[in-house]
Amino acid sequence: MDMLKGKGAVVTGATSGIGKAIATAFIQAGASVLLCDLNEKALDDASRELGDRAVGRITNVSDETQVESALRAAQETFGSLDIVVNCAGFGAITPLTELTADKWNAVQAVTLGGVFFGVKHGARLMIEQGRPGVIINISSVNGRQPGEGQAAYCAAKAGVDMLTRCGALELGSRGIRVVGIAPGLVETPLTRKELEDPAMRDLFLGVIPMNRAVAAEEIAAAAVFLASDNARSINGDTIAIDGGSLTRGYPALLTGAKGHN
């Protein structure tokens, strides 16, 4: 499969979970990928595993200078910057009234700010090189659906969805598409602990009509399609890959968990 042959890509949060699945799928589709993450050992391991077309770079996505430098490094290394995937992000399950300013700011800085920097500087470089590109923002069903104890994360992901729409509006005429993917429950190292708790797993699966979690590889397959010319008219939309959970409601992670005790 050579849907992305010869493309230069950047994936943030690329050493585990959804980010690593996307980087892996991109390389299998023919692209070269700059893997961005904070964990040096994980970067080394992932780069070695993915082969010669994978390059690791320590990057704190909440630092604009580091994001810009990483994107420029990819352009210089691969000869062009064709795809940017803004995947890095995190949240915290904390009641709204107990959410500290520091935790709020940390979530916004990475989960929303990192996407903003990726869109801004990815687009600048694509315009500078005169070669159209695609920017993919990894959002969440929580961009549309509130979750108990997730005020910071939900607000950040709602912001990601709007950045995607604004980016598509402003950059489409320059040949740059900005699209999003909103995963539902995905089995990753970040969610494994919760899903190993039978009560928590029941809460999540109870709101998914398909009664199963999404595989990271399913998100990656969608990212390959969106980055390819097969999706050349998809711009500004955020596609939910959630087993249908948006048809119901988000699990009650605070009051629901207590009810299972």
Q: Which residues, 6+ apart, have CB-to-CB distance to 223 below 8 Å? A: 22, 25, 26, 85, 136, 181
Kindly report the pTM of this predicted structure. Answer: 0.94
Average pLDDT of the chain, as a whole number? 94
List the domain boundaries for the chain.
8-187+215-247
pLDDT number for residue 256: 67
Torsion of CA 74, 78, 79, 82, to 10 degrees: -70
Q: Nearest CA to 212 among 221, 201, 225? A: 201
Our answer to whether residue 153 is catalytic in this structure is yes
pLDDT for res 261: 47
Residue 72: C-alpha distances to residues 3, 154, 245 (Å):
23, 30, 38
Q: pLDDT value at position 199?
A: 82
Q: Which two tokens stand for residue 222?
A: 């969608």
pLDDT digits (tens, 9 = 90+) for 153-162: 999 999 999 9
Q: What's the whole-number mean pLDDT along residues 74-79?
A: 98
**Distance set, CA 195 to CA 136, 205, 212, 213 (Å):** 27, 10, 11, 10
Catalytic hit among 78, 117, 153, 204: 153
- CATH fold, domain 8-187+215-247, is Rossmann fold (3.40.50)
pLDDT for 257 beyond 60: no
The mean per-residue pLDDT over the stretch 228-236 comes to: 97
pLDDT at position 200 is 81
pLDDT digits (tens, 9 = 90+) for 170-227: 999 999 999 999 999 998 877 877 778 888 888 888 899 998 899 999 999 999 999 9
- Give pLDDT, residue 1: 65
| Mean pLDDT of all residues in 38-54 | 97
Quote the strand ranges of the chain, DSSP E.
8-12, 32-37, 54-58, 83-86, 134-138, 177-183, 238-241
φ, ψ dihedrals at 186, nearest 5°:
-120, 135
Distances (CA, A) of 148 to 36, 60, 92, 113, 115: 30, 28, 11, 23, 24
Question: Would the pLDDT of 249 be above 80?
Answer: yes
Cβ atoms of 223 and 181 closer than 8 Å: yes
